[in-house]
Amino acid sequence: MQSSTWIMRERIVMRKQDSSLQFLQKSGEQKWSGVPASCCFRTSKRRSHRLVVPRVSCSSGNVPVLESGSPTLLDESKILKVSPQYVLTLLDAPTKVKPSHSRFHDPEKKAEEIEPYINGRCIYLVGMMGSGKTTVGKVLSDALGYSFCDCDTLIEQAVGVNTVAEIFNQYGEGFFRDNETEVLHKLSSMHRHVVSTGGGAVIRPINWRHMQKGISVWLDVPVEVLARRITAVGTNSRPLLHQESGDPFSRIMKRLYTLLEGRGEAYGNADAKVSLENIASKLGVEDVCNVTSTAISIELRSMV
Ligand SMILES: Nc1ncnc2c1ncn2[C@@H]1O[C@H](COP(=O)(O)OP(=O)(O)OP(=O)(O)O)[C@@H](O)[C@H]1O
Ligand SMILES: O=C(O)C1=C[C@@H](O)[C@@H](O)[C@H](O)C1
């Protein structure tokens, strides 16, 4: 009973937060000062941040590929603090920190168990374009009773244009990155949001300082899967993929590899990693492309 009450209370709070943000946006006031203090709580807890160097292996074509599913990428102390079902094993914490028997699986205990770990901190999803930050983020925010927000959308709103591509075209990437940092800065004083960050947010150390106020999770998805997903929806909204020649799938693959090569280490700074390959193997699905967001959602919900 207690946990149900807790969840309901948080959902009511989230509605207040949403309407507050909408009001500020409509009224044209500063969009970000927004959440009423009564709806938020701060955690005084500061976590030390360490740079984690991911292991890199080579696959065909001299393309460095991050080895997925490696527990060495994870700071276990952080995982243990974050974990229960939030990162919800859900999405694939390493086996050794999963609860083997399941007080954590008891839905009546869930909220109580999670609360001290997350303590209202924002969850920052990081990962390459197409890794599912938006798709999974919405499911996760719903499960946690958090609000969801997408950094790219917030940047578009702040700049006053319709698409990220327009920002790149009109003002250049540097301007976009400055706005991205500003958005993350403002989010860092907020609570109870699941944040879908831009794929390149990890490259600036200052952004990590902002994201450190919350919990960061890296959605690690093989490049080929990313390329298939993006090829299916097109690159209109992804200006960094507008380069290279060749057929769409190949040029997207090539570009993604190049970007990942420069960012692999930065993604490894996240507090936790969720590997699509690991989920696939857990579900007994041979082709990772067949791990649907629904399957991830079911996995997630079964833990909540
Ligand atoms: N598990 C999944 N299975 C199949 N398709 C998925 C899955 N997750 C996301 N997708 C699809 O992949 C595409 C990209 O997903 P999404 O927009 O959530 O990624 P993103 O990380 O937010 O991307 P970006 O950073 O470029 O905005 C979407 O078309 C989405 O429907
Ligand atoms: O990977 C990236 O650098 C980007 C990803 C998108 O989400 C946008 O933030 C933008 O297109 C840049």
Residue at 185 is within a domain: yes
**pLDDT grade for 287, boundaries at 50, 70 and 90:** confident
119 φψ region: left (φ > 0), alpha (ψ -120 to 50), beta (else): left
| Cα 246 off chain centre by | 31
At 149 the pLDDT is 96
Which comes out higher in pLDDT, residue 260 or 251? 260
- Closest-CA residue, ligand 2 atom 5, reads 199
State mean pLDDT over 142-160: 93
Residue at 106 is within a domain: yes
CA angle 33, 35, 36 (to 5 degrees): 110
Among 21-30, 45-54, 118-127, 176-185, where is mean pLDDT lowest?
A: 21-30
Residue at 31 is within a domain: no
Q: How many CA atoms lie within 13 A of 76 on its CB side?
A: 8
Say yes or no to pLDDT of 69 above 90.
no
Tokens in use for 73? 């990428």
Pairing outcome for strands 56-58 and 64-66: antiparallel
Residue 240 Cα, ligand 2 centroid: separation in angstroms?
A: 7
Residue at 41 is within a domain: no
* ipTM value > 0.90: yes
Q: 């009973």: which residue's tokens?
A: 1
108 near 303, Cβ under 8 Å?
Answer: no
At 137 the pLDDT is 87
Ligand nearest to the CA of 218: 1
At 230 the pLDDT is 86
pLDDT in tens, 74-127: 333 333 333 334 444 444 333 222 333 333 344 344 444 555 667 889 999 999
- Closest-CA residue, ligand 1 atom 14, reads 130
Counting residues of the chain whose pLDDT is more than 70, the rounded percentage is 52
Question: Whole-angstrom Cα distance, residue 190 to residue 240?
Answer: 29
Range of the structural domain that residue 295 is part of: 2-25+56-303
Question: Whole-angstrom Cα distance, residue 288 to residue 221?
Answer: 9
Reduce the DSSP state of residue 272 to 3 states and report it.
Answer: strand
Residue at 33 is within a domain: no
Q: Domain containing 141 — which CATH number?
A: 3.40.50.300
Query: What count of other Cβ atoms lies within 10 Å of the Cβ of residue 15?
Result: 12
Please identify, by atom number, the ligand 1 atom nearest to the C-alpha of residue 135: 18
Ligand 1 binding residues, C-beta < 6 A:
127, 129-135, 152, 196, 199, 229, 233, 238, 291-293, 296
Question: Whole-angstrom Cα distance, residue 214 to residue 190?
Answer: 9
DSSP state of 119: T
Tokens in use for 60? 């065909």
Mean pLDDT of the chain: 64
Reduce the DSSP state of residue 77 to 3 states and report it.
Answer: helix
State mean pLDDT over 125-142: 89
Ligand 2, residues 126, 134, 135, 152: which to mutate, most atoms within 8 A of Cβ?
152
Residue at 80 is within a domain: yes
At 249 the pLDDT is 81
At 81 the pLDDT is 35
- Highest mean pLDDT of the ranges 4-18, 166-180, 221-235: 166-180
Which comes out higher in pLDDT, residue 303 or 138? 138
Say yes or no to pLDDT of 213 above 90.
yes
DSSP state of 269: T
State mean pLDDT over 65-74: 31
- Closest-CA residue, ligand 2 atom 7, reads 198
Question: Whole-angstrom Cα distance, residue 153 to residue 131?
Answer: 17
| Cα 279 off chain centre by | 16
What stretch of H or E contains 81?
Answer: helix 76-82
Residue 132 Cα, ligand 1 centroid: separation in angstroms?
A: 4
Question: Whole-angstrom Cα distance, residue 165 to residue 155?
Answer: 11
At 302 the pLDDT is 38
Residue at 177 is within a domain: yes
Q: Does any ligand 2 atom lie closer than 6 A to the CB of residue 130?
A: no
CA angle 125, 252, 126 (to 5 degrees): 10
Structural domain count of the chain: 1
CA angle 146, 151, 155 (to 5 degrees): 135
At 84 the pLDDT is 35
Counting residues of the chain whose pLDDT is more than 90, the rounded percentage is 29
- Closest-CA residue, ligand 2 atom 8, reads 198
Residue at 36 is within a domain: no
Ligand 1, residues 125, 140, 229, 288: which to mutate, most atoms within 8 A of Cβ?
229
pLDDT in tens, 160-207: 999 999 999 999 999 999 999 999 999 999 999 999 999 999 999 999
At 253 the pLDDT is 86
Ligand 1, residues 126, 131, 135: which to mutate, most atoms within 8 A of Cβ?
135
